Amino acid sequence: MQFILYGTDFCQLCDEALELVERTLEGKDYQLTIVDISEADELMTKYAYSIPVLKRLDYEGTELNWPFIESDILRLTE
């Protein structure tokens, strides 16, 4: 499973989301890439008001906007 977590540096909610994702997916075979949206205007336009956003790349590009919970993440693994 391949995921992207969109966020920014110094974003407390993004830190919480990262911890939740790592805890929820512990023991599963996954790859997580963290992308700072402030480095690309296109991403800032798309995600500025919805970060953190978790996206599964190999599952039809499904995205979860914050707030999401463990069960939401687990649904992406099915």
Q: State pLDDT tens for residues 13-22.
A: 999 999 999 9
Q: Give residue 78's pLDDT.
A: 86
24: pLDDT strictly greater than 80? yes
**Helices (DSSP H) in the chain: which residue ranges?**
12-24, 41-47, 70-76
Domain that holds residue 49: 2-76
Pairing of strands 63-65, 2-7: unpaired
Residue-wise pLDDT for 28-69, tens only, equals: 999 999 999 999 999 999 999 999 999 999 877 789 999 999
Q: Give residue 3's pLDDT.
A: 96
Looking at the 3D structure of the chain, how many domains does it have? Answer: 1
Look up the CATH number of the domain holding residue 67: 3.40.30.10
| Torsion sign, CA atoms 71, 67, 16, 78 | positive
Name the strands in the sheet holding 53-56, side by side, starting at the edge strand that comes first in the sequence. Answer: 31-36, 2-7, 53-56, 63-65
* Identity of the amino acid at 23: R
**pLDDT grade, residue 26 (50/70/90)?**
very high
